[in-house]
Each structure stands twice: as C-alpha cells, then as structure tokens.
Structure 1
C-alpha cells in the first residue's frame, strides 16, 4: 500500500476518537493531540482510556464483519495519543488537522490559534463544530484560506456523511482536497453554505421537535411514532432524498398538502417556501414534467423507477418484512 498522509485530531474526546478510527481503518496514521497540560500519570491515564476505547470500537467492528480480530492490533497501532509537548511535531507533519475541542467559542478559538501556529502554513485545518459558524472562528487561524468546517455525524466511523462548510476566505482548492480525502476513506461529503444547522441538523431538529410535539398532543404513543419513522419516513428516505421524493410524487402534491396542513392545524410552520409555488408556476413539477428540484431530461424514467423500487425491496429484506405471495 502506498503511504497515506498522516492525520491529526485536536482533542481526545468522542469526535476525535471516532475520526481516528475512520482514518486508521483506511490506512492512515493518526495522532490524537491532547492540548491540555497534564501531569505524566494523568496523561498516561487519558492515553490508556482513548486507545482502550478505540480498541473496543475495532473489536465491535470485527463482530459486525467489517474486519477480523487479527486486524485489530494493526489498526490500533496506527493511532497515537500525543501530549501537549509533542503537539508541534504531530501537527506540522499532518496533511489535515481535525479540531474537536468542546463547543465553546473561546476554547475553540484558543485551540485553533495555537494549533495553526504550531502546525505552520501547510496543513489543512478543519473544525468539526456542529453549532459555530466557520467564519466566527476562522479569524483565529493563521492562513485562514486553508481552514473550513467538516461536520461529522456520530458515530463518525460509521455514518458516511460529512458536511463540508467552507468560509469566506477558504481556498476552493482546499475544499476540493478535503472532499477528495474524505471520499478516499469511504465517506460521502457534501458542500454547504456556512449557515446555522448546516443540512442534517437543521432538518432533523424540525423532525425531532415535531415528533415530540405529537407526543405532547396525544397524536400517538412514542413507540408508534418511532415505528412510523422507521418503517415509513426512514424507509422512504433511505432510498430517495427529500427533494427527489418531492419530484417523485410531484411538487404540486407538496404544495396542496402543505396548504391543507397549514389551515387544518392553524400553524404556518407547515407552509411551503416560495420555491415550491414558483416551481409550479414554471411547470417544474418533477418526474412527470422532466424537471423539478432535479433535472430528469434524457433520463430513462422507467429504469430509474425500477431501480428505486428495487432498493425498497432490499430494505424490506433488511427489515425481514418481505413475505412470499399467498397462492
């Protein structure tokens, strides 16, 4: 195997450990850098805890069939926990540094400032913040053109998605390089604007609050709401993206359904955004008109539908819900 670039994780918490597992699994050496000044015995305790958890994670992956038990020690050996005194060497020799310190603005800015100084101008630096916008912390980084946000979803070593959010000063070549590196370890990166909630947290916050609201209103039990999500909502959207699903059924259906819910539940949170009505006015209904949120021009619609339906059948098999016909 050709040499793969070294990776550093700034902070030894859950996110740093999860990212370390993902990159070590893909053949990279990873340094988890502890930025806190600690006495030797306390650092040794942290090191043992972090590596112990990483070893347990690889062991669980072996049980899931993702590797063999014989692979575990090789993978763990790629991860090191580095004390504050060794931070400079670890950071400056890394291709990319993932910052994962607590979600406190001052702490992040302090850690990023120290890390960028120690690392020098070459390594890419990516925050993993889930709440702070990239431009609110980019000023702490020397050479901010090499800085962006890479929002991983827990568990980082299993969930494919990583939301990349470049800042106003981020060099587009850096964004492309991070995307390429993430794809190289089997992740699915998407690029989004630096806005609160990015993509997934913004959508899931609305969905989770709505589920809680339905419990509060007595619409259904928590168990039945979760069952509906797993076998209805989640089942559909494991195959079709949200906007693809709008196009699949037709944007006009969403428009009229939203109008009804807004009136019936007397709440504007169900109202469609202007883009839905505008697409209708422009004839962009979805599959049936050849364009909606996505463009289907030249697509073999029958083959496309067949492929999506086949994926639904695969999910039925996964959930062990497929039954033979009664003859």
Structure 2
C-alpha cells in the first residue's frame, strides 16, 4: 500500500542517490532509492547488491571512526528501500519530497521528469540534484513547476551539512520554506541562491582549485606546500569566518588594494576587483572598522564579536592539533 511506502525518494541509484539515501536513513527516515531504467532481473539484482554494499560500507566507515556503533549499521541501512522500474510508480506516488539524480544530460532529465509527472502527487516537492543544469532550464520539464527547485548536495552527501537550494522565479515560497524545514530536520544546513551557474560552493572552489593548479604549472609552489597552506591557512580561516564576513573583518579596502596589486603583477582579468568593491571603498563602507560593509555593525558589540571570531579560530586550531600553550620559560 502507498501509505506503507517511504515519504522520501531518491530517483537514480548512483553515487548521489545512495548518499542522499544514507543521509535520510541516518536521520531515522525510510527512503526509496528508485532506479527508473528497464533492466533484466540479473542486472537489477547486481545494481541493488552494489548499492546496498556501498551504503553498508559507508556506514561501516562511520562506525570505524566511532561516529556510530557498529551494531547500528544494519538497522540504518535497512531504512533504504530499493525500487526498480516496476516498483517506481508506487514509490513516486507515495513520496512528499523527491530528489532527481539521474545522469547530467537533458535527455536523461527529460525522461526522468516524464516519470515524475505521471506518478508523483501534485503536492509533492520535486528537486533536481544537478550540478550543471540551471533550475530555469529544468522547470519547464516539470508539471506544476511552482513545486520545483534544484538542490545541490556536496559530497559525501551524508557528511557535508550544506545543501544549496536554487530557485526559479516561479518557485512557491511555501515550497522553499517546507523544503528547508525538512532538510534542517535531518541535520542539513540549506543555503539559497538564484538560478546561477555553479551555485555558491562550486563557483568559489573552482577558482581556488584552478589557481592552485596554475601555481604548480608556473613553479610558484609544490602541491604539498599549497595543500599545507590551504589546509592550515586559507581553509582554517574560512572554517572560522565566512568569505564575505572575512572581507568585512579585514576591511574591504584591504581587498581593494590587494586586488589592484595582483591584477597588475599576475593577471588583470583574474584579479581585478568587481565594481561593488570599488564602490564600497569610495563610499567608506569598509566593514567592521567603519561600522558597515557587506554587513551592518551598527549597535553591535564589536569587542564581543571580535572575541567570538578569535574563539572560533582557536577552536579550529585546536581541532587541527596546532595550538600550543605558552612557553613556561624564556628561551635563550
């Protein structure tokens, strides 16, 4: 019976679908992992065995790290229910929130949404986990597009808390609010962006990764030195402060001047500051030190905020095992 089927469904039994299934199962929910492809019995059994083995293996990895008890692995894995094409209509019809995760081609997406349009409830929320196709391109494929948005998960999907929600102009605000609430209920941290290529995280990290590869190509530093610098310098700082918060904390004028110097000495196209930075400097909106920047600090206890930032940074240092107590004696 439909009422006995899970409330959630991951459509596409590949790596992303399996990761999403683990995330919901870990949070105590049953979820359908749905394969829409017509397969022979032998091929379906092989896929299901591979998916089950990967899910159990991922959970066993968490157990080995002490995150969960080994005795919990089987119970959590059992919350994932595998559905082939024959079972898909019932699973899709029962779900209130679905995650489309088929291969990244419009033909594959179109075929998947034809299934969802035929079998999903009209009040079900439909999301796509696409990393490369805009929500505006896919909304046209969805019946009742007001209940549709993109949801980009960061791998491993069952570990990284952030999920990026990308809406089109027709996405119902109530649908967005309901989606956020469900995701927060399983321990995720939803962030919202517009219909923009690369969402937030991939767009930022692509610049960093390309620049790291370019530095190796130029002989500026080795891979090992770059990784040390990013793990314990760049990464540690941005784990304690958000990127935009970091601009305000140091001062927008610092970014302005650094960009001017590097655009002249390295590459103008890559390092010229955007107009918003120049405009904020001209207006004296430098961040924390001027009382406003990307954020407004009026009425805020700045000293308490600075202590909080220091506390976050020290917490990351301790986590990395890099914090040292002061020396007991003066060194010769």
TM-score, scaled to structure 1: 0.96
- By how many angstroms is 1:5 displaced? 6.7
Which residue of structure 2 aligns with residue 168 of structure 1?
169
Query: In the TM superposition, what whole-angstrom CA distance separates every residue of 1:257-295 from its partner, at most 9, and x where no partner exists?
Result: 111111122422101111111112222110011111111
SS of alignment partner, residue 176 of structure 1: helix
Unaligned segments of structure 2, at least 5 residues:
none
Separation in 1, partners of 2:165, 2:150: 6
Which residue of structure 2 aligns with residue 138 of structure 1?
139
Which residue of structure 2 aligns with residue 236 of structure 1?
237
The 5-angstrom pairing of residues 146-157 of structure 1 reads 146-157=147-158
Which residue of structure 2 aligns with residue 31 of structure 1?
32
- By how many angstroms is 1:174 displaced? 0.7
SS of alignment partner, residue 291 of structure 1: coil
- By how many angstroms is 1:309 displaced? 0.9
SS of alignment partner, residue 238 of structure 1: helix
Conserved? CA contact 2:6–2:31, under 8 Å: no
Query: In the TM superposition, what whole-angstrom CA distance separates every residue of 1:141-187 from its partner, at most 9, and x where no partner exists?
Result: 11111111000011000011100001122111111111111111111
Which residue of structure 2 aligns with residue 58 of structure 1?
59
SS of alignment partner, residue 204 of structure 1: helix
- By how many angstroms is 1:4 displaced? 11
Separation in 2, partners of 1:45, 1:98: 23
The 5-angstrom pairing of residues 1-327 of structure 1 reads 6-326=7-327, 327=329
Query: In the TM superposition, what whole-angstrom CA distance separates every residue of 1:127-151 from its partner, at most 9, and x where no partner exists?
Result: 0000000111111111111111000
SS of alignment partner, residue 84 of structure 1: coil
Separation in 2, partners of 1:196, 1:115: 24
SS of alignment partner, residue 316 of structure 1: helix
Query: In the TM superposition, what whole-angstrom CA distance separates every residue of 1:228-283 from its partner, at most 9, and x where no partner exists?
Result: 11111101000101110010010011101111111122422101111111112222
Separation in 2, partners of 1:265, 1:120: 55
SS of alignment partner, residue 191 of structure 1: strand
Aligned Cα root-mean-square deviation (Å) = 1.4
Conserved? CA contact 1:127–1:149, under 8 Å: yes
Conserved? CA contact 2:31–2:81, under 8 Å: yes
Separation in 2, partners of 1:4, 1:194: 33
- By how many angstroms is 1:76 displaced? 1.0
Aligned residue pairs total 325
